[in-house]
Amino acid sequence: MESEEENFEEIEEENESEEEDEDDELEAAMASTTLYDYKKGLVRPLVPKKTFINDMAGLNQGKKELEEKHSSWLERMDLNSSVVTIQKKKNSTSSGTGSKKKEREANNDEHGDEVDIENDFSREMHFVRQAQASLLIGLSKLKELDIPTVRPEDYFAEMIKTDDHMRKVRERLLSRHKRIEASEKAKKLRDMKKYGKKVQENVLDQRRKEKKELLQKVKKYSKGKGEKPEFLRREDDEEFPTKVVPSTQRKERRGPMKSKKRLAKDKKFSFSSFKKDKRNTAESSADMRMFPSSRTGGRGQNKSFGKGKGGKKGGGPKPRPGKSNRARQKLKRRNRH
Amino acid sequence: MEEHVEEATGQVRFVPSKESKKGKKRKRETDTKDPPLLIIEDGEPLDKKAKKWKNKTRVLILCARGVTYRSRHLMNDIKTLLPHSRSDNKLDRKDDLSSLVELCEMKNCTKCIFFEMRKRKDLYMWISHLPNGPSAKFLVENVHTMNELKLTGNCLLGSRPLLSFDPSFTGSPHYSLLKELFIKIFSTPYYHPKSKPFIDHMFHFGLLDNHIWFRNYQIVDDGKTLTEIGPRFTLNLIKIFSGSFGGATLYQNPHYQTPNAYRRTIKLMMAQKQDKKVKQKKKISTATRKVLDGLSRDPMESVFDTLNYK
């Protein structure tokens, strides 16, 4: 057992040291089935971890080779940002343990910056902050070396983005700005409307209240208990309190004011204050004044109802004679002249 | 053409002769109608500037056949950002990557950025130092080209950038090597003829979630504010090789997951979810059926049944 455990440890070490020569040994160990996870009390073959190459010496060597040529800063222009990235863990909650919080605070003191990768804004802001930190160093270096960072206004040269592209960008910005403005305006209007409604309600409430109070007062007064309401008081009326307002006065008050135009029209076309009832009644339908019998002889009346030749029965003017009769009459008339 | 022997590497290169170079320059001067801009740059004549240009690093930027438009646009953006870059035709897929070494030599380039695409989905980027390495291969993710991003920043074409790095780039050897590679590739050589004398933008290499995030900012108001220019992309390191476009592996990213594996896991997860749903539905339906069965049975049905005692 002990020997096996030792073997296991050995193999683990082998896993850590990524030497290719020891792969064969590993394979041999696998074949002899000594790789079992005894610690967990399970008998299952232990799969060796996948190894990843990390040849530090080679990396350093490659870096050195690269560094050799053109190593002055003006050729390289590289800068190290001082803002450290602290990746926000996906499951971390805002209320961490005390020690963790302290750690985070300590990190923040060292220009650390907690970043939520999923949050675009936080990520981009982090990059900007990092770039700005390194820019501070870079600008001071450039100042020392007397290299201009600001283009003089009379220096015209081709830009990376074409004017056409920049125009599009500007248009987009403008349209976005407009959209935002419009939405804000709409919002304001909506709010105003809401406020106006509230005010209206308040006013109506107030009016209702006043009316109620007034009615109560009037009621009290009519029972002879309360004081006389203000609107009923008149200077000459103090000694003779009248309970009822004169009808003429009341009539004047009733109804809305008529405009001048309406009044003129009323004068012209005659306006009666009550509306005529247009519907027929038994009386109105029996009324024959509209059809004077002396002229139509009742025939017109019948005709209007479309009831055939009832006209012959009634009196009145004689019906039109037949054609031959008319011709004879015509002849007679001619002969007379 | 003259045969040039470079002192440092001892390599033979073909460089156009000085006379022809001068002729070219003169021609250019006469071509443009704005001579003071070209002749006097950086406050001194162009000839002097050319003499001061010592770092002759050139970067070959190219891609393999079969890249989609977005990655091609990204490549073009990088080309415009690096005035010391050169371009070449798309590489055939059949061609071996080692042919790139020859190509770079032919083009006088000591650095190379190479894009290739698999399945028209996954963009890979090689950055390499030539001819002896090292090189690194990345998976490029979250690509947003300059045209796509309607960002307000703008800078001079060919102005030299400042390079800003996350502090953790110095932490481990592989990241410091990458940093060195980035510096060599992305910093424009001092006094490069195509460069402008003003420094008005900076590249930022952030390190977050084991990815390298590239951002390009314009320096506004004498360094008081930064506005982004674009493009944006993230690099997911796969491997670092000792040679250029191959050789022994120096580093392998343990956090790297191939896009195929990633898609597979997502698909599996979705499948499991669906499976669970179906099973639950089945369970519910059987349960309801049982209840319904119980309801439909007439309770008086067995009233007149006699018990059979045998």
Mean pLDDT across B292-308: 77
Under DSSP, the state recorded for B94 is S
Is the Cβ pair B156, A128 closer than 8 Å?
no
Instruction: Quote the CA–CA distance of B244 and B132 in Å, as a whole number.
Output: 6
pLDDT of residue A257: 82
pLDDT tens-digit series, residues B118-163: 999 999 999 999 888 899 999 999 999 999 999 999 999 999 999 9
Instruction: Quote the CA–CA distance of A158 and B155 in Å, as a whole number.
Output: 9
Is the Cβ pair B189, A70 closer than 8 Å?
yes
What residues of A are in contact with residue B190 (Cβ under 8 Å)?
Answer: 74-75
Q: Which residues neighbour A35 within 8 Å (Cβ) at sequence distance 6 or greater?
A: A8, A11, A29, A45, A46, A48
pLDDT of residue B20: 46
Strands B135-144 and B122-129: antiparallel
φ, ψ for residue B234 (rounded to 5)? -120, 145
What residues of B are in contact with residue A115 (Cβ under 8 Å)?
Answer: 208
Report yes or no: A172 at the B interface, CB cutoff 8 Å.
yes
- Count CB atoms within 10 A of the CB of residue B138: 23
**Domain B52-261 class, CATH top level:** alpha beta
Report yes or no: A118 at the B interface, CB cutoff 8 Å.
no
ipTM, two decimals, is: 0.78
Report yes or no: A137 at the B interface, CB cutoff 8 Å.
no
Strands B122-129 and B85-87: unpaired
Q: How many CB pairs under 8 A join A and B?
A: 194
Is the Cβ pair A117, B209 closer than 8 Å?
yes
pLDDT of residue B47: 64
Query: In this structure, what token pair is assigned to residue A69?
Result: 């040529």
Q: Pick from A161, A151, A145: which is nearest to B37 by CA?
A: A151
Beta bridge partners of B233: B214
Under DSSP, the state recorded for A231 is G
pLDDT of residue B94: 83
Report yes or no: B4 at the A interface, CB cutoff 8 Å.
no
SS3 state of residue B84: coil
Is the Cβ pair B217, A66 closer than 8 Å?
no
What residues of A are in contact with residue B186 (Cβ under 8 Å)?
Answer: none
Domain ranges of chain B: 52-261
**Element (DSSP H or E) covering residue A112:** strand A112-115
- Asked whether B63 and B143 are in contact (CB, 8 A), the reply is no
pLDDT tens-digit series, residues B47-76: 666 778 888 899 999 999 999 999 999 999
- Asked whether A54 and B168 are in contact (CB, 8 A), the reply is no
CA distances from B247 to A59, A284, B97, B134, B201 (A): 13, 118, 11, 9, 35
Q: Which amino acid is at A210?
A: E
Which of A61, A75, A154, A165 should be substituted to probe chain B, the one whose Cβ sees the most B Cβ atoms within 10 Å? Answer: A75
Task: Please state the pTM of the whole predicted model.
Answer: 0.63
For B232, nearest residue in chain A (alpha carbons): A124
Mean pLDDT across B182-197: 92
For B206, the closest of A130, A135, A157 (CB atoms) is A130
Under the phi-then-psi rule, with left for phi > 0, alpha for psi from -120 to 50, and beta for the rest, what region is B50?
Answer: alpha
pLDDT tens-digit series, residues A242-254: 555 555 555 555 5
Mean pLDDT across B164-189: 93
Instruction: Quote the CA–CA distance of A66 and B306 in Å, as a whole number.
Output: 100
CA distance A9 to chain B (A): 23
**Confidence band for B9, pLDDT divided at 50, 70 and 90:** very low
Tokens 């005659």 label which residue? A270
Taking 50 as the pLDDT cut, the residues of chain A under it are 1-18, 92-98, 106, 109, 296, 298-312
Interface of B with A in 25-54 (CB under 8 A): 37, 54
Is the Cβ pair A136, B152 closer than 8 Å?
no
Is the Cβ pair A117, B208 closer than 8 Å?
yes
What residues of B are in contact with residue A81 (Cβ under 8 Å)?
Answer: 164-167, 204
Q: Percent of chain B, pLDDT > 90? A: 64
pLDDT tens-digit series, residues A292-330: 665 545 444 444 444 444 444 555 678 888 999 999 999
Beta bridge partners of A78: B163
Helical segments of A161-229, H only: 163-222
For A80, the closest of B165, B209, B253 (CB atoms) is B165
CA distance A6 to chain B (A): 28
Interface of A with B in 31-90 (CB under 8 A): 52-56, 58-60, 62-63, 65-70, 74-85, 87
